Chain A
Amino acid sequence: MHEYSLAKELVKTLLDGVPEDQLGKTEIVHVELGELRILSKEALSTAYGIITEDTLLEGSEIEYEDVKLEARCQRCDFSGPVSYEEEEGVHFAVPVLSCPECGGAVDILKGNELAVRKLTVADDDEG
């Protein structure tokens, strides 16, 4: 259960990065969530709701956009999605962190995200 601590970081990020007049009008916080993050969306949203009580962000909600894993091979030219381990014994499809072409070690290009890229805010005349 580390969603609460990351929700606190998320709220800090918003308080630091969004002008105050926009914070109070925020309705939806669009969060990119990478496939490699081990986070429960439900727990993160619940924590966000608790942390933002009595703040300008109270009442706003998170909408998630899932980001699939992409990697670049350190050995060959491959860059793109990796393969997945989907054997019955594994309880969900697990990305395999190696090059699907040559088996080499990879650098992660996408999949580690926990990032707010945009906010949906009320127009001035919406009160």
Chain B
Amino acid sequence: MHDINLQDGDVMARLNELAEKNREKLKAHGVIAINVMGAIGSGKTELIKAINERVKEGYKVGAVAGDVAGTDDFERFKEAGMTAYNLNTRSDCHLDPHLVDHSLENIPLDALDVLFVENVGNLVCPADFELGTEIDVVVISVTEGEDMVRKHPKIFAKSEILVINKIDLANAIGVDPEVPKEDYYKVNPNGKAIFTAIPEGKGIDDLIDTLGVFGS
């Protein structure tokens, strides 16, 4: 037996090339894309809608509704008056740059300023794929328990923003939202954790400011 070296054997580089093409395409159309990850039911769709509601006079916001199946989130975005594309992975638990490329071909980029990419509903797999987006946001809700960051540390270490949602329910279910916040800063001291409660609008302005894509 003998060894042979491989010049082009970098699997992630191949995928990242596609992600870079997505980034260039978005840039060419003047669109900033935001990757939104988090478990099913953490509130990703409602957060995106809440952001849109506050910025829609000045910015055209769109969304890719990435889900395994169904059109529920897509319909929610449409009902909110947003430009949206429904992306069903059928079996995959994450989006990849191929799927995002397909989405970008089917969404009118010239009609948008900001595109949210809702990345299925999983705290493991999405973290391993660059999509071509500019900002990674992870959304958790207090109803998922205090130990979400400890159970899935790498996705939090890699993400610029952690949204701790449904903060209005924390007392009712006996969860201290400071626990995931502290855990997040241990693995990601340069990130930003934000508490949100959509019914009362808590934290939405802070999230909009932190995203930094909607001007001042």
A interface with B by C-beta (< 8 Å): 1-2, 5-6, 9-10, 12-14, 16-18, 22, 27, 30, 36-39, 85, 87, 89-92, 94-98, 103-105, 112-123, 126
Asked whether any CB of chain A lies closer than 8 Å to the CB of B125, the reply is yes
Q: Among B70-78, B90-98, B196-204, which stretch is in contact with chain A?
A: B90-98
Contact B1 A116 (CB under 8 A): no
Contact A9 B127 (CB under 8 A): no
Asked whether any CB of chain A lies closer than 8 Å to the CB of B13, the reply is yes
**CB interface residues, B 68-106, toward A, < 8 Å:** 92-94, 96
Contact A96 B187 (CB under 8 A): yes
Contact of B9 among A6, A92, A98, A116 (CB under 8 A): A116
Q: A2-B92, A115-B12 are in contact. Are A17 and B186 (CB under 8 A)?
A: no
Contact B150 A9 (CB under 8 A): no
Contact of A27 among B1, B6, B94 (CB under 8 A): B1
Contact of A97 among B128, B147, B188 (CB under 8 A): B188
Closest partner residue, chain B, to A9 (CB atom):
B11
**CB interface residues, B 1-35, toward A, < 8 Å:** 1-15
Given contact pairs A94-B157, A115-B10, enumerate 13 new A-B contacts (beta carbons under 8 Å).
A2-B92, A6-B128, A9-B14, A13-B11, A17-B7, A18-B4, A38-B128, A90-B150, A90-B183, A97-B158, A97-B187, A114-B10, A121-B2
Contact A38 B157 (CB under 8 A): no
Closest partner residue, chain A, to B130 (CB atom):
A112
Residues of A within 8 A of B183 (CB): 89-90
Least Cβ–Cβ distance between B181 and chain A, in angstroms: 14
Contact of B93 among A2, A94, A114 (CB under 8 A): A2
Q: A5-B92, A27-B1, A38-B124 are in contact. Are A18 and B187 (CB under 8 A)?
A: no
Q: Please name the 9 residue pairs, one residue from A and one from B, whose CB atoms are nearest each other, closest first.
A: A116-B9, A2-B125, A94-B153, A115-B10, A105-B190, A98-B189, A17-B8, A114-B11, A114-B12
Q: A18-B6, A118-B4 are in contact. Are A6 and B151 (CB under 8 A)?
A: no
Contact A94 B187 (CB under 8 A): yes
Residues of B within 8 A of A14 (CB): 6, 9
Residues of A within 8 A of B154 (CB): 36, 38, 94
Residues of B within 8 A of A115 (CB): 9-13
Expressed in whole angstroms, the Cα–Cα distance for A1 and B91 within the complex equals: 10
Least Cβ–Cβ distance between A104 and chain B, in angstroms: 7
Q: A9-B11, A112-B12 are in contact. Are A96 and B189 (CB under 8 A)?
A: yes
Expressed in whole angstroms, the Cα–Cα distance for A95 and B9 within the complex equals: 26
Least Cβ–Cβ distance between B90 and chain A, in angstroms: 12
Q: How many A-B pairs fall under 8 Å by CB?
A: 121
Contact B1 A13 (CB under 8 A): no
Give the most central of A27, A104, A117: most B CB within 10 Å: A117
Expressed in whole angstroms, the Cα–Cα distance for A52 and B183 within the complex equals: 41
Expressed in whole angstroms, the Cα–Cα distance for A92 and B154 within the complex equals: 11
Asked whether any CB of chain A lies closer than 8 Å to the CB of B155, the reply is yes
Expressed in whole angstroms, the Cα–Cα distance for A95 and B189 within the complex equals: 11
Contact of A120 among B2, B9, B11 (CB under 8 A): B2
Contact B125 A116 (CB under 8 A): no
Give the most central of B93, B151, B189: most A CB within 10 Å: B189
